[in-house]
Chains A and B, each alone.
Chain A
Amino acid sequence: MKPKDTAEHYILSSSPHAHANASVSRIMLDVIIALLPTTAMGIYFFGMPAVWTIAVCVSTCIVTEALCRMAMKRDNTIGDLSAVLTGLLLALNLPAGIPLWMAVVGSIFAIAIAKQVFGGLGMNPFNPALAARAFMLISFTGPMTTWLKPFWWKTPEAATTATPLAVMKTWFVAEATASASPHGLYNAACKGVPSLCDMLVGNMPGCIGEVSAIALAIGAIYLLWRKVITWHIPFAFIATVFVYSLIAGGAPAMMQVLTGGVMIGACFMATDYVTSPITAKGKLVFGFGCGLLCMLIRQFGSYPEGCSFAILIMNAVCPLINRWTQPKPFGAK
């Protein structure tokens, strides 16, 4: 409701009469800006298929949002940029070579099913981009697990490969059964995984936006600096993954952190306001849960990667965490 605006009357409203000028669209824009480095790296490594996937996801999300709002007879909300962000995040969590019609279906699912049927921004229980990714992983398992090699156009005869995670998965199994020394095992298996340096830069197969740890870290630092996110969830998530893999064995802990969706998940997906707890304590619990579930799925689950499922499960638990971690008022016993 806009206050009445006539020349003869002063505007009447209840205090406060000052505002920090923060806005939802500015926050969304900040997250989009923070995703630009990893977007650029994804395009650098995977070429035009990445460009097309991003373009299709973003535009489908915008159109779907507009149509949904129209159908629901609500205000158009594409101006808040949340649909753009959902589209971008979904694209960054898809393999570059995915057929574009599948990207369209996923984007429609993200906006229409995961977000608007619940009432739109602020009402969705699950992160729309991750819900769509999970939906696509189950519906289109083959294309969703076919990975282009970085610079695949240089080796057109073998453009696709397995992700390092699929290789690393076998280590847990191997370690449990084989009698070979862990050191020898590691050396033998190293053929399938990129070097630590490649992992940091992102020179490995994977989703468009998840490969470059450095680009993701730059984005996360920007978000922390802009005070869009706090350190709690990324820290708890990554630290849990790290400590778990130190204890459980398998692939080296650094490798577990740098591969798959841990970096993008911890910094950009799990920190989604709507689907994560509001208090600092709750955020730590949430991040811990994400990290733990992610590693449990990586070690024992039937998928090599568990990051998106881990966050989705924790999304579901979020209201409960909020209930447990209500702040204590100043002066309360």
Chain B
Amino acid sequence: MKTVKSPFHFKGGVHPDYNKELARDKAIEKLPLPAELVVSMSQHLGAPAKCLVKVGDFVKRGQLIGEKNGFISVCVRAPADGKVKAIEKRLGPAGGKADAVILDTTAPAPEGVAAVEPLPPLDWKTASREDLLKRVEEAGICGMGGAGFPTSVKLNPPPGKRCEYLVLNGAECEPYLTADFRVMLERADRIRLGVEIMRKILGGPAVRIAVEANKPEAIAALEKAFADIEGNVEIVVLPVLYPQGSEKHQIYATVGRVVPEPPALPIDVGCVVENVGTVAAIADAVEKGEPLLERVTTVSGDAVVEPKNILAPSGTKYSDLVAFCGGEKEPPAKVISGGTMMGFAVSTLEIGTTKTTSGLLLLSRRKVFQYASGACINCGRCLRACPMGLNPALISKAVDANDIKAAEDAHVMDCIECGACSFGCPAYRTITQSCRRAKNSIRARIAAEKAKAQAAAAK
């Protein structure tokens, strides 16, 4: 095991104000069980889980309440004992509505309800690869960095593809967020165990642990935990630069490989990237039989009384998190689920957390910029900031002119929506937003064409 500086530097990137000092020194605190949980069936990327319970049912902690529904999907387990109060469409952080199970955790357990057997602990050294993989799937683990990709799918490369490098994403380049930092600091031993389990599942790849240079305490904790690990393991210290935590850029920074354009995936260049929190969750799932029921969420921003890193069950309402932090210092002007660069502004605090809720930010008016977009002056700042090497100015002008074809020709589908272009635009143009619009409209067109082709084939 050794610690190295990242030898590869991607082009582009920006330096937003990190504001991590608000919560970085706050040790992880466990939230007392909230009275009500809003457990979404769509906490991950892919098809929502199929709800297995009905109103009035009493569920036990760890009980399967949502079944994996397709290849790219993840099951959902009850984060706590409670009675199903309602099953209804609830607003998610991204603005869409999804089925959610509303749990009343104060309801007394009825007589005669058999406790659900928790998943049995596994000895990872003797368990087979298939058993371990099955456990990851049963535990409902998805990528906890933000996208929520099903981890069991990622850990099971398609035939013919081999994982040569397992990259652990501890960059946490989003402003304000310190959840991953605290996990690395306080749970480094769990991360180490998770790495050993994942190495076994993936057939012994080399391991690269990527951490941004502004987290020396986390690097020290990892160095200690990994000191006597065998095999090819390196901690790679990355320069502080947004979006260092992007999957593609992390692969480049750690192993110097470039993931080709979509639909290529990291596994096409022999890499699997997992967030450090996910790795710790895998360790718990295998060693303790503990499914992914809770996670660390950073609650921060200048409008919250005491920023904290909170270990809370999935489905905790944002209002409960804020109350645990002492409430609002002043009425927030903007509430963001996630970080300031890629997070979602939400309209209410009555939203439940998910497996991917890394942060909740309450920002006062002073921290919220309001803009009037002007004409592009062709200054090229977006082009120099774009980590994907695109020409965002061209794309945004094309979208303004409703010329989606031109945006597509300018490789808008490569856009990772990191926000670096909009961040630096002196004309306050909504460039990232334009890219998103173009991507959605291209995806819709492709889906329509596919449906049409299928209909034609069916005739």
Contact = CB atoms under 8 A, between A and B. Distances in A.
A26 B425 CA distance: 12
A226 to B, nearest CB: 12
B273 to A, nearest CB: 15
Nearest to B341: A16
A16 B261 contact: no
Given A329-B411, A330-B248, A332-B411, A16 B422 contact: yes
A230 B258 CA distance: 27
Interface stretch (A118-126, A176-184, A244-252): A118-126
B455 interface: no
Contacts of A273: 377-380
B417 to A, nearest CB: 8
Is the interface on chain B under 10, 10 to 19, 20 to 34, or 35 or more residues? Answer: 35 or more
A283 B128 CA distance: 59
Interface-central residue, A80, A230, A333, by most chain B CB under 10 Å: A80
B184 interface: no
Contacts of B334: 10-11, 13, 17
B17 interface: yes
B340 interface: yes
Nearest to B375: A122
B255 interface: no
A279 B391 contact: yes
Contacts of A158: none
Contact of A17 (B10, B343, B378, B430): B343
A260 B430 CA distance: 41
A122 B378 contact: yes
B304 interface: no
Nearest to A122: B375
A3 to B, nearest CB: 6
B363 interface: yes
Nearest to A274: B378
Interface string B365-385: 000111111111111110100
A198 to B, nearest CB: 36
Contacts of B343: 15, 17
A331 B261 contact: yes
A298 to B, nearest CB: 29
A9 interface: yes
Given A2-B370, A10-B335, A22 B419 contact: no
A70 B58 CA distance: 68
Contacts of A274: 377-378
Contacts of A123: 375
B324 interface: no
Summarize B's interface: helix, strand, loop or mixed: loop
Contacts of B422: 16, 19
Nearest to A75: B372
Given A11-B334, A11-B345, A19-B371, A327 B389 contact: yes
Contacts of B175: 18
Contacts of B394: 278, 322, 326
A122 B393 CA distance: 12
Interface in B415-431: 417, 419-420, 422-428, 430
Nearest to A318: B378
A26 B426 contact: yes
Summarize A's interface: helix, strand, loop or mixed: loop
Contact of B370 (A3, A9, A22): A3
Contact of B372 (A2, A9, A14, A278): A2
A47 to B, nearest CB: 35
Interface in A266-320: 273-274, 276, 278-279
B426 A11 contact: no
A100 interface: no
A275 B411 CA distance: 24
A123 B397 CA distance: 11
Contact of A22 (B252, B344, B347, B425): B425
A19 B377 contact: no
Given A16-B432, A329-B388, A329-B390, A24 B380 contact: no
Contacts of A5: 370
B16 A326 contact: no
A122 B341 CA distance: 27
B410 A11 contact: no
A1 B261 contact: no
Contacts of A20: 14, 16, 423-424
A15 B347 contact: no
Contacts of B374: 24, 80, 121-122
A23 B411 CA distance: 27
A27 interface: yes
Interface of A: 1-3, 5, 7, 9-24, 26-27, 80, 119-123, 230, 273-274, 276, 278-279, 322, 326-333
23 contacts: A1-B373, A2-B372, A10-B345, A11-B333, A12-B346, A14-B433, A15-B341, A16-B341, A16-B342, A16-B420, A18-B341, A19-B424, A20-B14, A20-B16, A22-B426, A273-B378, A273-B380, A326-B410, A327-B389, A329-B414, A330-B414, A331-B259, A331-B414
Given A15-B432, A119-B375, 8 more contacts: A1-B372, A11-B345, A12-B345, A19-B371, A19-B423, A19-B428, A326-B394, A327-B390
Which are the 7 A-B pairs with shortest beta-carbon distances? Answer: A16-B419, A122-B375, A22-B426, A18-B340, A17-B340, A330-B389, A19-B369
